[in-house]
Structure 1
Amino acid sequence: MLNLAVMLEDAAGTTPGRVAIVSGEHQLTYRQLNAMAGQVANLLVSRGITKGDKVALSCPNVEWFPAVYYGILKAGAVVVPLNVLLKSSEIAYHLTDADAKAYFCFEGGTELPLGREGWAAFGDTDGCEHFFLMTSGEAADNAAPSPEGAETIANALAGQPSTFDTVVTEPGDSAVILYTSGTTGRPKGAELTHANMTFNALTGHRLFGEVEHDVHLISLPLFHSFAQTVQMNVGLASGSTLVLMPRFDARGALTLMEHLEVTFFAGVPTMYWALLNEDVADMDLSVATKNLRIAVSGGAALPVEIHRKFTKTCGLPIREGYGLSETSPLATFSPLGVQARPGSIGRPVWGVEINLVAPDWTPVEPGQTGEIAVRGHNVMKGYYRRPEATAEVMRDGWLRTGDLASRDEDGWLYIVDRTKDMIIRGGFNVYPREIEEVLLSHPAVSLAAVVGVPHDSHGEEIKAYIVRAPGADITEDTLIAWARSTMAGYKYPRHVEFRDALPMNATGKILKRELRLAGAAAGSQ
C-alpha cells in the first residue's frame, strides 16, 4: 500500500489545526483541507470512478487545486493536471488522449474564461462522463454564469461525507499524468507512479532541511511538476503553510513575502530577474525577503549574473536544482550546508543516478559534455499509450533528457544547453546559454535569449533578443561590437533585436521556439 495522498493525511493527523492553505482572504487548516479532499473522493466514487480511472483538473493556484488533487488520489484515481491557458480544442485533445472519465474545471471570469473553454471541450469528448465547475473567492463573485448544463462543485459536493477510507494503491500504480509542453510534436503524458511522486516529495523534504514550520509562497503554477512536487507535495509532507498566488508578479510576491513571513520561495530564472527589476526598485528586497531561509530555482538554467545579484541584494544564495516532468521532477539539487556554486545544478539527489552520454548512449569521457541521462526512483513509467515515444528516450531504466551538461571533479553538474537549442554555425557547435551569460554581464542588458536563424552559407547564424536595462539606450551595432571583442569569432551574435519583453510560457520559461520561428520568418540572413 502506497498512496501519494498520505502527504496530506499524515499532516492532517499530526497538525490538524495548523493553517495549510492561504488563498487570498481564505484559509484552510489541515483538517479542513483533508475534509474537502474526502468530499471530492466520495463524489468521484458515487459517480462510478474507480481505481486507475483518469480524472483531469484545470485549476489555477487556489484552494480547489490541492483539495481536488488529493481527493482524486484518495479515490484511487489518476490526476491529470492541465495547463490553465489551454483552449477548448487543446483541452479536448488532452481529455481524449488521457482517457479522462471526469473533469474538474475552474471558472475564473473574463480574465481566465477557463470554464467556458472546458465546457466546450467536454462537449467534444465522448469518453469523459462528468464535468464539475469550480469557483473560488473573488473569482466566484466575478465569474460569468455557469454554462447551461454544467454541474457546479457546490451542488456536486452537497451532502458528500468528509471522511473517506483511501483506496489501496500499490507503489507501481499510476498517480499522476503530467503532459509535456509539446515542443516537439503533440504533448505526451508522462505517467508517474505513487512511488515516483512520494519518494520525490520525501527526498525534497530531506534536501530542503527539516524545520518546525515553513511558509511557502507558491507562484509557479501547480499544474506544473516544479510547484506540484517541490512545493505542494513537499510542503504538505512537512506540515508547512502554502500561500497560493494565482499569477506571479514581482510586487505582489514581495508584498506576500514580507507580510506573511514567507520562508520558502521557488521560481524559474525569469521570476528572480523580475524580483531584481526596475519595476520594484522602490521596494526594499532585503526587507521583503528577510524571513526567507531557502530560495530555489529550476525549470531553466539560472544565469550566473542573476544569481550574483540576488545573493548580493538579499544575502541569500539561490539553490539551483534540475529535473523535468518525466523525473517527478527532482533529479539534482545544490545541497544546503555547502557553499552554493553559481552556474551549477548541484549533484544527483538521493536514490538517483546521472550519466552524461553520447548519442549512442555510451558515457562520455570525464570532463566532456554529454546528454544527461537519469535513472532512479523518480523516472516515469513511460509516456501514456506511447510505447514508441517511450522507447526513444528510455533504455534499461535510463531516461535521456535532451539536456547537455558537464561535470566537475566533485560531481557537480553544469547545464550547457538543450540539444535542440544548440546552434551549428559553419560546422561549429555554439551553445546559446554561454552567449547569454556573457551578454547579461553587460550593464545595458537586462534579459537575453539567443537562438539560431537560417543562413544561406553558414546554415545558422546567431541572433540575440535583448531587453534593455532601465534607462539604457545601447544600439545594435554597439552591442554587437562589444560582443565581438568579448567572444570568439564564431560565437558572438551577428544580429540583435531589442524588445520590451520576451515571450514566456505559463511557468515563466522563455519560449525560444517562438523566437526561432520569428527569425525563420524573417528569412535567411
Structure 2
Amino acid sequence: MNLDLKLREHAKENPEKLALGWETGSFTYRELNERVQKLANQFYLSGVVKGDRIAIILDNCPEFVISYYACMRIGAISVPINPSFTSREFGIIINDSTPKIIITNEAVNEVLKQTKIEGNPQYLLRNDSIFSDLITDGQAEYLVDLHENEECSILYTSGTTGLPKGAVLTYHNLYHNAKTFAETLELNENDRTLILTPLSHIASQSNCMNTLIYCGGYIYLIPRWKSSSNTLSTLEKEEITFFFGPPTVYTYMLNDKDISTYHLKLRIAYTGAAPLPEKIFKKWRETFGFEIVEGYGLTECSPVVSVNPPHGRKKLGSVGLPINDVRVKIVNERFEEVPIGESGELVVQGPNVIKRYYNREKENYSAFIDGWFRTGDIAKRDNDGYLYIVDRQKDMIIRSGFNVYPREVEEVLYEHPAVLEVAVIGYPDAEKGELVKAVLTLKSGYGGKVEELKEFCKERLATYKVPQEFEIVNELPKTSSGKIVKTKLRELYT
C-alpha cells in the first residue's frame, strides 16, 4: 500500500468530497486525482522513468500537492526544496540530487538563473500557462508498478553540522508514518487541517498533507505565515479540527490580544520541531480548555518517533511514548543501554527509519549501528516509558567540566514575564572552555532588563548554568518551519 493508492481510493469512493482548499479555490478528491493523473502522464511523455528525481520548489499551493503525488504515481522521486533558500543552497541540493525536472515559480526561477546547475533539467513554472495546461488537459493514463520499499522522496536536512544531506524515504516509510500518526491522534475523514508551515518540511508533508490524504480528510493551504490574526481567523473560518505548528506559532497566537474572540473547532493541537515551553502548554490549556499534544521526530524518521497520548496523560517536558512498531533505546558511548532516568543518545529502529542518505556513504556508515539509527539527540526515559529530549548532542555546553543543557536554561527564562522567545548557546572561553549565553526577544512593553534576568536565573539554576551574557534582539533567526537556528546565532553572537 502507498499514499497515492489511498488518494485514488478516496477519489473512487468519495469523489465529490472536498480534499484541498486555498484562498481562491478548492478541489474535490475527484478533481485532485484527475490533475495528479494528468501531470503523471506528462512526466511519462517527458521521458521520466521510475527513480528519476523531480525537484519541487514551491510555497504551499495546490501545485505542490499535485506535483508531489504525481511523482508517486509515476515512480519518480520527489525532492521538495524550501523556496526561500539562497542561490548557494539551491545549488548544493540540486547538484547533489540531479533532478530531471524542476517545478518552481517565477520568483525562485530568477534566483535559479544565478545558480550554477549541472546537467540540463527541464523547468516547469507554476505561473506559466504551460504548467496549467499539463494538469488540466492531459489525456492518457500511465501507471507504474511500485514496491513499498522503493525510494519515494528525498528531503534534505538543515545541515547544521555541515552540508545538507538527503534523507531517502521509501513509500512504506511515508505510508506507515502517516497511518500510525493518524491512528495515534484518532484522526479520520471528518478532520480538517490548516497547513501554514512549509510543505517542503517533513512535518507539514507527513503530519498534515499525507496524514489527511490517508484519512480522506480536508487540507487548507496558506502560502506562508502572515500573522497570528490571519492564522486564528482561518482556523475559525475553515472550521479546522487538527492543527500543527512549532512552539513559536503557538507563542504568537497566545499573545494575540484578540485570541479570546475566536470560536475555534480545534480538537487536536499538535507541536514538534522544537521543545514546547511549559508556560505555553499551560496557557493554551487555560485559554482553550484542552492540551497541546507534543511529539518528537526528525526527517530521517518520516518524521514521527513518539507522541504524548492525545487523550491520556501528558507529562510536561516529555515528548511522549514511541508510536506503534517503533522501537527506541537510550545508549552510552559504548552503545550500551543506560538505566531508566539516565541520559544518553536516542537511537531508533522501525518502519519509519530512512533507507539511506543520498550519495553519502560515510554518513550512512556512521548513522546506523546494528540496525539502529543514531538520532544525535540526548534523551532519557522514565519508569512509564515516556521520553524526554534533554538536548541535541552537539548543542550541549561544557563549562569547567560541567554539562549545561541549553533547554533547561531556556525553560527557566521562559518563566520570566518579559521573555517572548529565547535560545541558549555556548561560546568559547580560555579559562572555562565554554560559557553560557542567552539570546532573547522581549514582549511588547518590556525594556531591556539584563540584571533582572540574571538574578531570575540565579534563583533557579546552579551557578554554572546561569548565562554570563544576555543578548536582547528584535528577532531570532528561524528556519521556514519556525525552528530557531542556533548555528546562525553562534555566527552572530559568539
Is TM more than 0.5 here? Answer: yes
Instruction: Output the CA distance in 2 between the equivalents of 1:273 and 1:69.
Output: 31
1:118 counterpart letter in structure 2 = L
Equivalent residue of 1:100, what SS? coil
- 1:454 equivalent in alignment to 2:428: yes
Equivalent residue of 1:284, what SS? helix
Equivalent residue of 1:5, what SS? helix
> What is the CA deviation profile of residues 361-387 of structure 1, one whole-angstrom value per residue up to 9, with x for unaligned ones?
221122101111000000001101111
Gaps of 5+ in 1: 108-112, 136-145, 521-525
- Structure 1 residues 120, 178: CA separation in 2 closer, same or farther (over 3 Å shift)? same
- 1:509 equivalent in alignment to 2:487: no
Instruction: Output the CA distance in 1 between the equivalents of 2:319 and 2:87.
Output: 37
- Structure 1 residues 216, 393: CA separation in 2 closer, same or farther (over 3 Å shift)? same
2:304 to 294, 308, 330: 330
- 1:85 equivalent in alignment to 2:84: yes
2:405 to 426, 431, 436: 431
Deviates more, 1:357-366 or 1:186-195: 357-366
Aligned to 1:263: 241
Aligned to 1:229: 206
Q: Measure how far apart 1:155 and its partner are.
A: 4.7
Aligned to 1:127: 119
> What is the CA deviation profile of residues 282-333 of structure 1, one whole-angstrom value per residue up to 9, with x for unaligned ones?
2326x34x30010000111111111111111111201111111100101111
Query: Would the aligned equivalents of 1:502 and 1:510 in 2 still touch at CA under 8 Å?
Result: yes
Instruction: Output the CA distance in 1 between the equivalents of 2:295 and 2:187.
Output: 18
Deviates more, 1:405-414 or 1:3-12: 3-12
Q: Note the 1:109-258 alignment, pairs <5 A.
A: 113-121=107-115, 124-135=116-127, 152-157=130-135, 159-161=137-139, 164-248=141-225, 249-258=227-236
1:274 to 236, 252, 256: 252
1:218 counterpart letter in structure 2 = I
Query: Would the aligned equivalents of 2:38 and 2:134 in 1 still touch at CA under 8 Å?
Result: no
Q: Measure how far apart 1:83 and its partner are.
A: 0.9
TM-score w.r.t. the length of structure 2 is: 0.96
Query: Would the aligned equivalents of 1:318 and 1:340 in 2 still touch at CA under 8 Å?
Result: no
Q: Measure how far apart 1:488 and its partner are.
A: 0.7
- Structure 1 residues 211, 160: CA separation in 2 closer, same or farther (over 3 Å shift)? closer
Aligned to 2:259: 283
Q: Measure how far apart 1:157 and its partner are.
A: 4.8
1:48 counterpart letter in structure 2 = G
Query: Would the aligned equivalents of 2:179 and 2:211 in 1 still touch at CA under 8 Å?
Result: yes
2:361 counterpart letter in structure 1 = P
Instruction: Output the CA distance in 1 between the equivalents of 2:89 and 2:18.
Output: 36
Equivalent residue of 1:438, what SS? helix
Deviates more, 1:2-11 or 1:384-393: 2-11
Query: Would the aligned equivalents of 2:98 and 2:118 in 1 still touch at CA under 8 Å?
Result: no
Q: Measure how far apart 1:519 and its partner are.
A: 2.5
Equivalent residue of 2:487, what SS? helix
Equivalent residue of 1:291, what SS? coil
1:275 counterpart letter in structure 2 = M
Aligned to 2:334: 360
- Structure 1 residues 491, 74: CA separation in 2 closer, same or farther (over 3 Å shift)? same
Instruction: Output the CA distance in 1 between the equivalents of 2:488 and 2:215.
Output: 39
Aligned to 2:56: 57
Aligned to 2:350: 376
Q: Measure how far apart 1:119 and its partner are.
A: 4.5
Query: Would the aligned equivalents of 2:426 and 2:434 in 1 still touch at CA under 8 Å?
Result: yes
Q: Measure how far apart 1:259 and its partner are.
A: 1.0
1:86 counterpart letter in structure 2 = F
2:162 counterpart letter in structure 1 = G
Aligned to 1:26: 25
Number of positions where the alignment pairs a residue of Structure 1 with one of Structure 2: 493
> What is the CA deviation profile of residues 174-207 of structure 1, one whole-angstrom value per residue up to 9, with x for unaligned ones?
0010100111111100011111111111111111
Q: Measure how far apart 1:84 and its partner are.
A: 1.0
TM-score w.r.t. the length of structure 1 is: 0.91
Query: Would the aligned equivalents of 2:182 and 2:188 in 1 still touch at CA under 8 Å?
Result: no
Instruction: Output the CA distance in 1 between the equivalents of 2:414 and 2:356.
Output: 38
Deviates more, 1:168-177 or 1:330-339: 330-339
- 1:103 equivalent in alignment to 2:95: no
- 1:475 equivalent in alignment to 2:449: yes
Query: Would the aligned equivalents of 2:189 and 2:212 in 1 still touch at CA under 8 Å?
Result: no
1:116 counterpart letter in structure 2 = E
- Structure 1 residues 462, 158: CA separation in 2 closer, same or farther (over 3 Å shift)? same
Query: Would the aligned equivalents of 1:95 and 1:128 in 2 still touch at CA under 8 Å?
Result: no
> What is the CA deviation profile of residues 335-385 of structure 1, one whole-angstrom value per residue up to 9, with x for unaligned ones?
222122221111110110011111232211221011110000000011011
Q: Measure how far apart 1:467 and its partner are.
A: 1.4
Q: Measure how far apart 1:489 and its partner are.
A: 0.9
Q: Measure how far apart 1:474 and its partner are.
A: 4.9
Equivalent residue of 1:55, what SS? strand
Query: Would the aligned equivalents of 1:5 and 1:74 in 2 still touch at CA under 8 Å?
Result: yes
1:501 counterpart letter in structure 2 = E
